[in-house]
């Protein structure tokens, strides 16, 4: 009897040890589901958005619940097809939802696409197997946040029109968003749509102003985070072209964008991928500044400029500000980004 009890005890102990070891092995191989950021990605899917989606698809830190699309780099349907194709290339089955096809209060302005007519380098890459969902993007965002209050983070890679529409429709629900991660604004540097405005904001400054005033906490990666160190050289793109399926896909998608950068004598910048890196690879961000921000929405030369008031700074004409709920990224590890991105595209 004693021997039988001993055997049972040892068997139970052995199973416990094995289960514990299994858990440890699982933890060593990546984040547990409860540790991951539960995210919705909102995108206007050009070629640098595609780079961001591929980072997200392979990140151990992110649980992609869904992807919402809108106009911006390309028209709405093309944005959806590009997103679905990119997710399929990255081995991700996250559903895609159709959002808005124009800004809040004005008609969509046709701007020169630096990504090509299809937003993906005009390389005949876009032949998705899947289709977008029937539920509208704004309803999907609100329903997901309602079902998971305080848990959902939204990664914004295009104009903020979808997010602003959700704020307008149900501001109380949107206040339950855990955090926004935004690629937009010039940061503390110059613009690319105008000398003072960044492309995503310029597309719909009213939407940006709506979101910035909503009270939802946000981390903003501005255009000033992009530089030569984080940009892709011809050698980098050649490595990607000889790399894995994602690398080959993305190197082709960047064809038109690279031509623009080379005319400027610069490496190919990936601003949306940098914004994704801020949440997917947290060690990439070395410093942020707490700010209050407003977007200029008057129809003049300053349209689309976002003015940041840095917490602790004293200005000669100090306006009344709201809560300093924005973290604007001010310092990054660009070499780390480049190393991790190229590894993802080649191994």
Closest by Cα among 302, 295, 301, 321 to 310: 321
Domain assignment present for residue 30? The answer is no
| Nearest alpha-carbon partner for 226 in 256, 253, 264 | 264
- For residue 145, the 8-state DSSP code is H
Strand pairing class (179-183; 152-156) = parallel
Q: What count of Cα atoms within 13 Å lies in the side-chain half-sphere of residue 175?
A: 6
Residues with Cβ within 8 Å of residue 168, at least 6 apart in sequence: 210
Give the model's pLDDT for residue 326: 97
7 inside domain: no
From first to last of its 347 residues, what are the pLDDT tens digits of the chain? Answer: 444 444 433 434 443 333 333 333 333 445 677 789 999 999 999 999 999 999 999 999 999 999 999 999 899 999 999 999 999 999 999 999 999 999 999 888 776 678 999 999 999 999 999 999 999 999 999 999 999 999 999 999 999 999 999 999 999 999 999 999 999 999 999 999 999 999 999 999 999 999 999 999 999 999 999 999 999 999 999 999 999 999 999 999 999 999 999 999 999 999 999 999 999 999 999 999 999 999 999 999 999 999 999 999 988 887 788 899 999 999 999 999 999 999 999 99
Residue 16: inside a domain, yes or no? no
Helix/strand/coil for 39: strand
Matching residue, tokens 């050009």: 46
**Could you give the count of Cα atoms lying within 13 Å of 227 in the half-sphere of its Cβ?**
13
Query: Among all chains, which residue has been given the structure tokens 């947290």?
Result: 282
Token pair recorded at residue 265:
């004598």
pTM of the model: 0.89
pLDDT at residue 30 in the model: 58
Reading across the β-sheet that carries 218-221, which strands appear in turn?
96-98, 62-69, 37-43, 152-156, 179-183, 218-221, 326-332, 285-295, 306-310
> Is the residue at 278 inside a domain?
yes
Alpha-carbon distance of 330 to 327, in angstroms, equals: 9
Identify the pLDDT of residue 10.
Answer: 40
CATH code: domain of residue 81: 3.90.245.10
Beta strand 285-295 with 152-156 is unpaired
| Residue at 205 is within a domain | yes
Tell me how many domains the chain contains: 1
The closest alpha carbon to 231, from 337, 302, 125, belongs to 337
245 inside domain: yes
Q: Using CB atoms within 10 Å of the CB of residue 342, give its burial: 0 to 12 exposed, 13 to 18 middle, 19+ buried.
A: middle
- Give the gyration radius of the chain's Cα atoms: 22
Within a domain: residue 14? no
Q: Encoding tokens for residue 209?
A: 């102003």
**Which ranges of the chain would DSSP assign to H, the alpha helix?**
2-28, 47-58, 76-89, 137-147, 161-169, 171-174, 199-203, 205-212, 234-241, 245-253, 255-263, 271-280, 334-346
Give the residue numbers spanning the domain of 251.
Answer: 37-346
| CA 7 – CA 303 distance, rounded (Å) | 77
Quote the CA–CA distance of 140 and 156 in Å, as a whole number: 15
Structural domain includes residue 26:
no
Q: What does the pLDDT read at residue 112?
A: 62
């Amino acid at each position: 009897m004693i021997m039988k009890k001993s055997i049972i005890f040892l068997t139970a102990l052995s199973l416990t040890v094995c289960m514990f070891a299994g858990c440890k092995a699982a933890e060593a191989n990546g984040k547990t589901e409860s540790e991951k950021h539960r995210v919705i990605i909102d995108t206007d899917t050009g070629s640098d958005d595609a780079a961001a989606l591929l980072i997200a698809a392979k990140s151990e830190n992110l649980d992609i619940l869904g992807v919402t699309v809108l106009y911006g780099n390309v028209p709405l349907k093309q944005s959806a097809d590009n997103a679905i194709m990119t997710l399929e290339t990255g081995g991700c089955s996250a559903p895609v939802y159709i959002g808005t096809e124009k800004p809040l209060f004005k008609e969509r302005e046709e701007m020169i696409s630096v990504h090509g007519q299809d937003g993906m380098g005009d390389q005949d890459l876009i032949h998705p197997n899947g289709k977008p969902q029937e539920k509208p993007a704004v309803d999907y965002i609100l329903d997901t946040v309602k079902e998971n209050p305080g848990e959902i983070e939204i990664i914004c890679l295009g104009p903020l029109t979808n997010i602003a529409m959700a704020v307008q429709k149900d501001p109380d629900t949107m206040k339950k968003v855990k955090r926004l991660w935004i690629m937009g604004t010039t940061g503390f540097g110059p613009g690319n749509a105008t000398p003072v405005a960044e492309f995503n904001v310029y597309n719909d400054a009213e939407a940006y102003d709506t979101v910035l005033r909503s009270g939802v906490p946000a981390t903003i990666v501005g255009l000033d985070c992009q530089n030569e160190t984080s940009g892709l050289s011809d050698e980098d793109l050649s490595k990607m072209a000889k790399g894995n399926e994602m690398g080959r896909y993305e190197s082709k998608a960047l064809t038109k964008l690279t031509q623009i950068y080379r005319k400027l004598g610069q490496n190919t910048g990936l601003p949306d991928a940098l914004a994704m890196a801020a949440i997917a690879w947290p060690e990439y961000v070395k410093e942020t500044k707490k700010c209050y921000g407003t977007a200029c929405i008057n129809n003049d030369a300053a349209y689309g400029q976002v003015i940041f008031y840095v917490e602790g700074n004293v200005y000669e004409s100090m306006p009344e500000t709201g809560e300093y709920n924005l973290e604007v990224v001010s310092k990054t590890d660009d070499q780390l980004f480049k190393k991790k991105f190229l590894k993802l595209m080649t191994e």
